[in-house]
Structure 1
Amino acid sequence: MVLSLNSGASVSTKASIPFIYRLILTIIEPSVAVVGAVIAFCTADGYLSAMTRNSTSFTPTTTFLYTELGGAWLYFAFNEAVVLRLFDDLRFWQILCVGMLLSDGAYCHSVAQAVGGWGAWSRVGDWTAENWMVFWSTAPMVLVRILIVLGVGVKTSQKVE
């Protein structure tokens, strides 16, 4: 089942979305996002250094950008840790995941930009420990959102009236 925007009976998230997907989106990723926000708020220079492989110098006049980034991660964490738990509706989760995937696309592109573009990013042999950390703290979550939107592994037979 692919994302359906038509109305009708709700499909329970708890009954339809595998536990591992729910664990990743409501526990693991919000925790990672809060840590990312703290890093952006408290050590913007370290964040920049890690993301760019030390190729760009931090200037204090850009601190507001890291505050903005941290705020976006807090919003992500809130949506996952609170909003997704409040709504036991598959269609709602799928729609929210589509919105998150828009942000994921921009974030993933920014990760490539930080190291000199997609060509540089695709040379996995050049990756630093920080590049691996960014990959493993992003890719599984993005994959889960894609799977939910596409309905992969999602059961749709149990209806809640």
Structure 2
Amino acid sequence: MTATSRAPISASAAVPMIYQFIFITLEPIFALLGAVMALHAPHQYLAGMTRDAQPYAPSTQFLFTQLSGGWLFFAFTEAVVLRLFDDLNLWRVVCVGMLLSDAAYCHGTAQAVGGWQMWLKIEDWTVEDWAVLLSTAPMVLVRIFIVLGVGIRTPRGVKAE
């Protein structure tokens, strides 16, 4: 597979500043903090995600270590790679990949409380449930907007691939 030769569209010029702030500044910080929590306080992470329904078993630490690796990858990709390569098409491709991870994360969040039927009972939500939503939804929405081109400014006659 080869890439077609084209002049890249500047992501920093095309993507609204609020999207950039959320995507390459705020989320890497959240991802880094999530990685630290998964590594150093997995019992707290598990309690928050499952509404204290599941006890932490030290034999599962490896899962939290793997989870933290995913978050470190997110943080590095957003904070470093997307700053080094100012290419809207690259940003879109990265966003699609991250949305695949987001889908699994969101489904796992519902599984943690007993499934979608339980998760959708907003009246039963805990402070932790709201924290998960409010620390995830803005980032997911920004990725969706970037992929769909919502709010993206591109030069006339030029369309990002």
| TM-score, with structure 1 as normaliser | 0.93
The aligned residue for residue 65 of structure 1 is 63
Identify the match of residue 120 of structure 1 among 110, 118, 121.
118
Identity value in percent: 56
The aligned residue for residue 56 of structure 1 is 54
Q: Cα deviation per residue 1:55-113 (whole Å; 9 max; x = unaligned)?
A: 11111100000011011101100000001101111001000100000000000000000
Higher relative contact order (CA 8 A, sep 6+): 1
Instruction: List gaps (5 residues or longer) in structure 1.
Output: none
Identify the match of residue 44 of structure 1 among 32, 42, 45.
42
Residue aligned with 2:29, SS: helix
The aligned residue for residue 98 of structure 2 is 100
Q: Cα deviation per residue 1:37-64 (whole Å; 9 max; x = unaligned)?
A: 1110011111111100011111110000
Tell me the matched-pair count: 155
| TM-score, with structure 2 as normaliser | 0.93
CA distance in 2 between counterparts of 1:15 and 1:76 reads 22
Structure 2 residue 10 is the aligned partner of structure 1 residue 12: yes
Residue aligned with 1:9, SS: coil
CA distance in 2 between counterparts of 1:109 and 1:18 reads 29
CA distance in 2 between counterparts of 1:19 and 1:71 reads 28
CA distance in 1 between counterparts of 2:86 and 2:71 reads 23
Amino acid at match of 2:75: A
CA distance in 1 between counterparts of 2:8 and 2:65 reads 38
Amino acid at match of 2:145: L
